[in-house]
Amino acid sequence: MTKSPRKFFDPRFIWTEKRRQNRLAFILFWSILMWFFFKTYVVSVGIIGDNSMQPSLGKGGYYLVNRYIYYFVRPERGDIVVFRDAKYSPREEVKRVVGLPGETLVIRDSEVYINGRRVHELYKVGGTYPDFGPYTVEKDRYFVLADTRWVREDSRDYGAVPFQVIGGKIEPGVLFPFR
């Protein structure tokens, strides 16, 4: 009777061989590699660090960030996006897209006007002060504002956000929130 050749994932254990350690190292290596790939390019968990997106996203809430959607489509008005304020900054900002590339945006009397038409924003809290604009959004950039408008750290301060730094989209209620 001849023995069949052993395979890498053979369940038989032989003490003189190091197959078990090699198998565990193989599984560990690929698990870490897949976790990194999944977290970077597919879905990751984000934590809301400020009150700027109340009541849509509460401070301290955990949300899934869809990281792959913007490989296929561009952001639309009303999308909640995650981006880094600087290229190598560890801090991620969460804001809502209001102005798209090529549009002219004006904030007057606490209302947002795009190309002369008022935008109906059901999600905003409070007035948008002070008056701002006119501002034309450049190509491949997006004008973002917080839902709680008196929290003043948005595109009025640092300009429109380049598409390259937008890292994903949060969809409250679609990609379930964790509390």
Query: Would you give per-residue pLDDT tens digits along the chain (179 residues)?
Result: 566 666 666 666 555 566 677 788 889 999 999 999 988 888 888 777 777 777 777 777 778 888 888 888 888 888 888 888 766 667 788 888 888 888 888 888 888 888 888 888 877 777 777 778 788 888 888 988 888 877 767 777 788 888 888 888 887 765 544 44
- Catalytic residue check, 124: no
Q: Which domains does the chain have, with CATH numbers?
A: 41-170 (2.10.109.10)
What does the pLDDT read at residue 179? 42
What does the pLDDT read at residue 11? 60
What does the pLDDT read at residue 15? 54
pTM value is: 0.71
What does the pLDDT read at residue 84? 80
- Catalytic residue check, 52: yes
Mapped onto helix, strand or coil, the DSSP state of residue 91 is coil
Determine which one of 3, 44, 52, 56 is catalytic.
Answer: 52
Mapped onto helix, strand or coil, the DSSP state of residue 69 is helix
What does the pLDDT read at residue 28? 93
Count the Cβ atoms, other than its own, within 10 Å of residue 96.
Answer: 23
Two tokens at 141? Answer: 């950039």
Closest among 62, 61, 39, 60 to 168, alpha carbons compared: 39
Closest among 71, 123, 135, 72 to 95, alpha carbons compared: 123
Count the Cβ atoms, other than its own, within 10 Å of residue 79.
Answer: 20
Q: Where are the alpha helices (DSSP H) in 103-160?
A: 155-158
Determine which one of 56, 95, 124, 169 is catalytic.
Answer: 95
What does the pLDDT read at residue 30? 93
Long-range contacts of 85-93 (CB under 8 A, 24+ apart): 85/158, 85/165, 87/165, 91/49, 92/46, 92/167, 93/144, 93/153
